[in-house]
Chain A
Amino acid sequence: MKQDTLYQYILGIADNSLILGQRLGELCGHGPTLETDIAITNISLDLIGQTRSYYQYAAGLSDEGITEDDIAFLRKEREYRNVLLVEQPNTHFGYVMVRQFFFDVFHLLFLKELQQSADETLVAIANKAVKEVGYHQRFSSDWIKRLGDGTEESHQKVQEAVNDLWRYTDELFYMTEADKAMFNNDIGVDLSHLKDTYYETITTVLSDATLAVPDNTYFQKGGKDGIHTEHMGYLLSDLQYMQRTYPNMNW
């Protein structure tokens, strides 16, 4: 493939949205209230919509005649490039919101940088997505404050989620070979440049929420290189079930 690095770079962005969208989609019909259920499903659909734009672009770069669906449903686990954070399970509502918040803050900073890319298609996708993600961050930040500064039980549960998911935040700034190459071509985003602002925002919201910022410095990574946590296989078996069981099935 002529533009293999760009192809890999796009998948690296899009897979985060696909996998987080899938995780949120699992909650459809299971949200804690009707209103929250609809809100979470809306966010899921925003993310999957973004994923489609990226995959359509990537499929067009490939010379193997593949479609967006092939990219979404027919890759092996090792070929997905999402960060470990987004594949973590919906353990309880505190985890759902903390995972969302940790990702949203990164996602918004990332898209604002991507708007400056030299690649017109990526700029167009970022321009549309940045408004959606601005709302996602507002929604998840609000919930972090509500839960943290809520009851004793909600505080304890959301703190547990913060402590457990903290180890996956550093990977957001890890740059793969494709990330570095695309940054050098003025197409990609310099992730390391986002890190300080990211942790400042996170710290401000956690403090407002009366939550403690974890001080552990042991971080996990691997997802961006295709090495996923044990949860990924189960997620993919759900996601890919239809295409694996009935190949080439259409609506």
Chain B
Amino acid sequence: MKNNWPLWEVFVRSKNGLEHRHFGSLHAADAEMALENARDVYTRRSEGVSIWVVESKHITASNPSENGEMFEPAQDKVYRHPTFYNLPDEVKHM
């Protein structure tokens, strides 16, 4: 039975105002069951106030073997961080 069930990714919002974060994955026959399973597997210690589930096959992932061309070009472009400004003291929380 288990082999026939597709894999789902679970995203949980821990508190109102926060974003949904990836919590893990599980098996379920359809979206409704995925939601119920996620409720029991990931929020039984009251970790969340909202759950999203999406079937794993709908997620397109970057390929680790292409990390060189994907991510390395950004490494020597520190000027893309806004760290070269002199902030006045009055500006807080930056």
Q: A interface vs B, CB < 8 Å?
A: 32-36, 38-39, 42, 135, 138-139, 142, 146
B40 partner, pick from A32, A42, A142, A146, beta carbons under 8 A: A42
Whether A35 pairs with B27 at a CB distance below 8 angstroms is yes
Report the separation of the CA atoms of residues A83 and B1 in the bound assembly, to the nearest whole angstrom.
33
Can you give 6 contacting A-B residue pairs, CB < 8 Å?
A: A33-B2, A34-B41, A35-B40, A38-B37, A42-B40, A142-B33
Interface string of B35-59 (1 = CB under 8 A from A): 0110111001000000000000000
The dominant DSSP class at the A interface is: helix
- B87: min CB distance to chain A, Å: 49
Whether B1 pairs with A39 at a CB distance below 8 angstroms is no
CB-CB nearest in chain B for A143: B33
Whether A39 pairs with B2 at a CB distance below 8 angstroms is no
Additional 17 contacts, C-beta under 8 A, given A35-B37, A39-B37, A142-B33: A32-B2, A33-B2, A33-B27, A34-B41, A35-B27, A35-B28, A35-B40, A35-B41, A36-B37, A38-B37, A38-B40, A39-B40, A42-B40, A42-B44, A139-B36, A142-B36, A146-B29
With contact pairs A38-B41, A38-B44, A42-B44 given, residues A33 and B36 touching in the complex (Cβ less than 8 Å): no
Whether B26 pairs with A35 at a CB distance below 8 angstroms is yes
8 closest cross-chain pairs (CB), A and B:
A35-B37, A39-B40, A38-B40, A33-B2, A42-B40, A35-B26, A38-B41, A42-B44
Interface size class of B (residues with CB under 8 A): 10 to 19
- B92: min CB distance to chain A, Å: 43
Report the separation of the CA atoms of residues A182 and B36 in the bound assembly, to the nearest whole angstrom.
37
* B5 CB within 8 Å of chain A: yes
Residues of A within 8 A of B5 (CB): 33
B1 partner, pick from A33, A34, A42, beta carbons under 8 A: A33
Whether B32 pairs with A142 at a CB distance below 8 angstroms is yes
Report the separation of the CA atoms of residues A33 and B44 in the bound assembly, to the nearest whole angstrom.
17
- B72: min CB distance to chain A, Å: 39
Report the separation of the CA atoms of residues A135 and B28 in the bound assembly, to the nearest whole angstrom.
18
Report the separation of the CA atoms of residues A103 and B39 in the bound assembly, to the nearest whole angstrom.
22
- B28: min CB distance to chain A, Å: 7
Residues of B within 8 A of A139 (CB): 36
